[in-house]
Amino acid sequence: MKVGLTYDLRQSYLDMGYGEEETAEFDRIDTIEAIEQTLRHLGYDTERIGNILDLTDRLSRGDRWDIVFNIAEGLRGIGREAQVPALLDAYDIPYTFSDPLVLALTLHKGMTKRVLRDLGIPTPDFAEIHSEEDISKVRLPYPLFAKPAAEGTGKGINPASIIKGDAELHRVCRELLARYKQPALVETFLPGREFTAAIAGTGSRARVLGVMEIFLKSNAEADVYSYSNKEESELYVDYALADDALARDAARTALEAWAGLGCRDAGRVDLRADARGVANVIEVNPLAGIHPHHSDLPIICNLAGISYVRLFEMIMESARARLPGRSFKAGKQGIPASIRR
């Protein structure tokens, strides 16, 4: 089976003059190498495609693949994560992970929370800030938490994101609007434990692989899983599997959110407990990072005793289930040292 690889290579954008934070969600070359090596170990023939511009060029030249392993985040627009899947849909080429509707929805945190709320899934109360005039309309009790509505990897999140009064709310929201050129999301601050749940599978076959609790070290930016803390997690963050009553509640809630939104193949749901000890969904990540040693999804799998190779087996098994009439028999090779656990 011929598998194309779509991705945004971080170094390519840095070379074009984009900044470190602008490219934070893009992938390093060692991530692409790990994906390629793992898929080849599982018996697939792989071919690197690149970003959406590369994909457009290849499609126009008549190139096709049996399936595309897609981790392209996209550069511009509220639907940036949906762009590659939408193009592949237009050419009737199957791909891994969620479809354009899910990826466009979940990138916009406010719209995601509306759907979660309609599904009866706990998520903190919120307000969207589209302009400075909206700031004075917020009617939520302090403390609050503010972040960009459509970013990931902790972009726009730092200790100032925790807001305790009107002056802070106006200052932080103005800064977010000016810096990220998109709405800001303001929500009730959740003071409890923070988790992220790894999920594999689609629909009724989806299951939680593990729930990981996030512990910030004493030298980390306090109280927030921020951009800085995530970028240098080895220095600032400790991770551990959790399996107590609250963690199990988080797992159930994460799975309900995953299925309710229609997410596919693998990803993560981020949760934090409110003052009553109820796990609330704060973000859904259907296009989660997949670096073998640095990204949360593989980290959870490693803690749970699930190898990087096994994670890819589950992803491809789930994706191939959408290919009626197509069969594939894996022919495994030796596991490369770069991804060996």
Compute how many other C-beta atoms are within 10 angstroms of the C-beta atom of residue 171.
14
pLDDT confidence tier of residue 233, bands split at 50, 70 and 90: confident
Residue 2 CB coordination number (10 Å) = 13
**Digit-coded pLDDT (tens) for 331-340:** 454 455 555 5
* Residue whose C-alpha is closest to residue 247's, from 211, 204, 220: 211
pLDDT at 337: 53
Q: What is the pLDDT of residue 341?
A: 45
Furthest-apart CA atoms within the chain: distance in Å: 61
- 3-class DSSP assignment, residue 78: coil
Average pLDDT over residues 127-142: 97
Whether the per-residue pLDDT at 327 is higher than 70: the answer is no
CA distance 85 to 103: 9
Asked if the model's pLDDT at residue 70 lies above 50, the reply is yes
DSSP 285-305: ETT----TTTSHHHHHHHHTT
Residues 6+ apart with CB under 8 A from 210: 197, 198, 241, 300, 301, 303, 304, 306
pLDDT one-digit tens code per residue, 180-217: 999 999 999 999 999 999 999 999 999 999 999 999 98
- pLDDT for the residue numbered 247: 98
Half-sphere exposure of 271 (CA within 13 A, CB side): 33
201: which residues sit within 8 A by CB, 6+ positions away? 207, 265, 266, 314, 318
Residue 68: pLDDT over 90: yes
CATH topology of domain 2-97: Rossmann fold (3.40.50)
Give the per-residue pLDDT at 141: 97
The pLDDT of residue 338 is: 52
Quickly state the pLDDT bin for 169 (edges 50, 70, 90). Answer: very high
Report domain extents, the chain.
2-97, 125-188, 194-320
CATH ID of 194-320, from 3.40.50.150, 3.30.70.20, 2.60.120.560, 3.30.470.20:
3.30.470.20
Q: What confidence tens digit (pLDDT) does each residue in 283-324 have?
A: 999 999 999 999 999 999 999 999 999 999 999 999 999 997
Burial 14-53 (b: 16+ CB within 10 A, else e): eeeeeeebebbbbbeeebbebbbbbbebbebebeebbbbe
Q: Which two tokens stand for residue 95?
A: 């791909």
Closest residue by Cα to residue 267 from 286, 295, 289, 252: 286
DSSP symbol at 207: E
Question: How far is it, in rounded angstroms, from Cα 20 to Cα 12?
Answer: 12
Q: Is the pLDDT of residue 12 over 50?
A: yes
Q: In the predicted model, what is the mean pLDDT of residues 124-149?
A: 97
How far from the centroid of its chain's Cα atoms is residue 236's Cα? 20
Whose tokens are 């929201």? That residue is 173
pLDDT tens for 250-296 read 999 999 999 999 999 999 999 999 999 999 999 999 999 999 999 99
Would you say residue 98 has pLDDT above 50? Answer: yes
Average pLDDT, the chain: 93
What is the CATH code of the structural domain delimited by 125-188?
3.30.1490.20
